[in-house]
Structure 1
Amino acid sequence: MSEAPRLPIAAACALGALWTLPNTLLGLIAGVVGIAFGAHAHYSHRDLAIVFHRWPWGPGGAITLGNAILHTGDTLDSPCLTYAHRAGHGEESEILLADHERAHVYQYMALGPLFLPLYLLCGGVSVRNRFERAADRYARHGSGWWPWARPPQK
């Protein structure tokens, strides 16, 4: 890729990170508290996020807050089931947790402080939530992270 296209992408990423900074600060505070209980952090360029692994609370899996990902396991590159599959809405192949959470990072960067209220209005952590379905879609296909995007036609 030439330098010309990289500059606008980098600028968009920087603006998105700034726009979602209040959410990221929540994630960083929670992550730093987790470090006191055994979590460790690193920056993931691929995921555009600071990832806190072995975060000690929660039912397992991960939660994204802006450009911070709190993860209970050792690596985001682990397979997981889609929300639809877990809810019995059909058989779907496993996805990578990293891809699912990266979609949430993109959603946060686009919506900034509007993300959390919209996410909760759409149903919170559930198969009905368009944000979760879009993150699963992105993890399966590598596109379609926008919650109001049309699903690919079969």
Structure 2
Amino acid sequence: MTVAGQLLGALWTSPNTLCGLLAGAVGLAFGARVCWRRRDLAVVFQRMPWGAGALTLGNVILHTGVDLDIPCLTYAHRSGRGIEAPIRLADHERAHVYQYMLLGPLFLPVYLLCGGISVRNPFERAADRYARCGRGWWPGRG
């Protein structure tokens, strides 16, 4: 992705990013920590005091753990659809950042219409694929 593409994508998804920054700011008051992860094109709030795992909103990743560079199971593995090697959580969430940068404010409604947090959701399967092999972050691409 070119720098111009990154800037346009960040601008396009800025309403989502603002929501993530607001949630992260509330988390800071309860002990969360914040850092910029250039590789992930995201502001990351770690040690978020609510939820489980990670949630991406635009160019913000909200994470309950202390490090995104941890192994996690794919949606297919967790649902019993197959045995797959663990992936890195940071790579999975980076795919969602890219998806947000393409769809901008349309991402959340489209994501929810596609099944939400579920193995049926093509956005989740694409994020797992990207985390597994470094390509194919968009649904339908491999």
TM superposition score normalised by structure 1:
0.91
Q: Percent identity between the aligned chains?
A: 71
One-letter code aligned to 2:34: A
Q: Aligned with 1:26: secondary structure?
A: helix
Aligned: 1:10 with 2:3: yes
Give the aligned partner of residue 134 of structure 1.
Answer: 126
How far apart, CA to CA, are the structure 1 residues paired with 2:6 and 2:46?
Answer: 23
CA RMSD of aligned residues (A): 0.8
Structure 1 stretches of 5 or more lacking a match? Answer: 1-7
Aligned: 1:38 with 2:31: yes
Q: Aligned with 1:91: secondary structure?
A: coil
Match of 1:67 among 33, 36, 59: 59
How far apart, CA to CA, are the structure 1 residues paired with 2:100 and 2:32?
Answer: 23
1:142 shift after superposition = 0.1
How far apart, CA to CA, are the structure 1 residues paired with 2:37 and 2:7?
Answer: 15
How far apart, CA to CA, are the structure 1 residues paired with 2:16 and 2:112?
Answer: 14
Give the aligned partner of residue 81 of structure 1.
Answer: 73
Q: Aligned with 1:41: secondary structure?
A: strand
1:147 shift after superposition = 1.6
Q: Which runs of 4+ in 1 moved over 2 A?
A: none
Structure 2 stretches of 5 or more lacking a match? Answer: none
Give the aligned partner of residue 100 of structure 1.
Answer: 92
How far apart, CA to CA, are the structure 2 residues paired with 1:91 and 1:40?
Answer: 34
One-letter code aligned to 1:129: N
One-letter code aligned to 1:133: R
| Count of residues in correspondence between the two structures | 142
How far apart, CA to CA, are the structure 1 residues paired with 2:140 and 2:34?
Answer: 32
